[in-house]
Amino acid sequence: MLGLMQDRPLLISNLIEFVDRHNGDGEIVSRRVEGDIHRYTWRDCAARARQVAHALDAEKLAFSDRVATLAWNGYRHLELYYGVSGSGRVLHTINPRLHPDQIAWIANHAEDQVLCFDLTFLPLVQAVHARCGTVKKWVALCDADKLPADSGVPGLVSYEDWIGGRPTSYDWPVFDENSASSMCYTSGTTGNPKAALYSHRSTTLHAYAAALPDVMCLSARDSVLPVVPMFHVNAWGIPYSAALVGCKLVFPGPAMDGKSVYELIEAEKVTFAAGVPTVWQMLLGHLQANGLKFNTLNRTVIGGSACPPAMINAFRDQYGVDVLHAWGMTEMSPLGTLCTLKNKHLSLPAEEQLALRLKQGRAIFGVDMKIVGGDGKELAWDGKTYGDLLVKGPWIVKEYFKGEGGDPLVRDEKGDGWFPTGDVATIDADGFMQITDRSKDVIKSGGEWISSIDIENIAVAHPAVAMAACIGVFHPKWDERPIVAVVKKPGAEVTREELLKFYEGKTAKWQIPDDVVFVEAIPLGATGKILKTRLRELLKDYKLPSLA
Q: Catalytic positions, please? A: 186, 331, 444, 449
Report the interface residues with ligand AMP, using CB under 6 A: 186-187, 233, 303-306, 325-330, 334, 360, 421-423, 435, 438, 527
Residue placing its CB nearer to ligand AMP in the complex, 13 or 421:
421
Q: Of the two residues 33 and 94, which places its CB atom closer to ligand AMP in the complex?
A: 94
Name the amino acid, one letter, at 161. Answer: D
Q: Indicate the residue among 242 and 425 with the shorter CB distance to ligand AMP.
A: 425
β-strand pairing of 180-185 with 90-93: parallel
User: In this structure, what are the phi and psi dihedrals at residue 520, rounded to the nearest 5 degrees?
Assistant: -70, -40
Sheet holding 223-226, edge to edge: 37-41, 27-31, 248-251, 223-226, 272-275, 299-302, 322-328, 335-338, 362-363
Q: CA 11 to CA 486: how far, in whole Å?
A: 47
- Among the listed residues 438, 337, 342, the one whose alpha carbon sits nearest the alpha carbon of residue 386: 438
Q: How far is the CB of 228 from ligand AMP (least distance, A)?
A: 10
Is residue 528 a contact partner of residue 304, using CB atoms and an 8 Å limit? yes
Instruction: Give the nearer residue to ligand AMP in terms of CB position, either 86 or 96.
Output: 96
CA-based torsion, 231, 234, 238, 244: positive or negative: positive
Cβ nearer to ligand AMP, comparing 438 with 488: 438
Q: C-beta of 515: minimal distance to ligand AMP in Å? A: 24
In the complex with ligand AMP, the residue whose CB is nearer, 222 or 437, is 437
Q: Which amino acid is at 432?
A: F
Task: With beta carbons less than 8 A apart as the criterion, state whether 326 and 238 touch.
Answer: no
State the minimum distance, in angstroms, from the CB of residue 531 to ligand AMP: 12
Q: What is the closest distance, in whole angstroms, from the C-beta atom of residue 152 to ligand AMP in the complex? A: 33
- 28 beta partners: 40, 249
Question: How far apart are CB 79 and ligand AMP at their closest, in Å?
Answer: 25
Pairing status of strand 195-199 against strand 362-363: unpaired
Give the whole-angstrom CA distance, residue 103 versus residue 523.
20
The distance of closest approach from Cβ of residue 330 to ligand AMP in the complex, given in angstroms and rounded to an integer, is 3
Cα 34 to Cα 476: distance, rounded to the nearest angstrom: 56
Give CA–CA dist 215/49, Å, rounded: 28
Closest C-alpha to 221, from 183, 192, 247, 182: 247
**Sign of the CA dihedral running 360, 480, 477, 372:** positive
**Closest of 344, 515, 519, 505 to residue 432, by C-alpha:** 344
Output the smallest distance, CB 437 to ligand AMP, in A. 8
Is the CB of 39 or the CB of 398 nearer to ligand AMP? 398
Whether residue 334 is preceded by a cis peptide bond, meaning omega within 30 degrees of 0, is yes
Is the Cβ–Cβ distance between 307 and 178 less than 8 Å?
A: no
Q: DSSP letter string over 421-484?
A: EEEEEEE-TT--EEEEEETTT-EEETTEEE-HHHHHHHHHTSTTEEEEEEEEEEETTTEEEEEE
Q: Provide, rounded to whole angstroms, the least separation between the CB of residue 275 and ligand AMP.
A: 12
Q: Which is nearer to ligand AMP, 141 or 324 (CB)?
A: 324
The DSSP code sequence of 372-390 is E-TTSPBPP-SSS--EEEE
d(CA 324, CA 215): 8
Nearer to ligand AMP by C-beta: 235 or 466?
235
User: Within 10 Å of residue 143's Cβ, how many Cβ atoms?
Assistant: 14
Distance CA 147, CA 158 (A): 6
Task: Give least dist CB 452 to ligand AMP, A.
Answer: 11
CB of 456 to ligand AMP, least distance (A): 11
Report how far residue 509's alpha carbon sits from residue 57's, in angstroms, rounded to the nearest whole number. 65
| Other Cβ atoms within 10 Å of 369 Cβ, number | 22
User: Cβ of residue 360: shortest distance to ligand AMP, in angstroms?
Assistant: 5
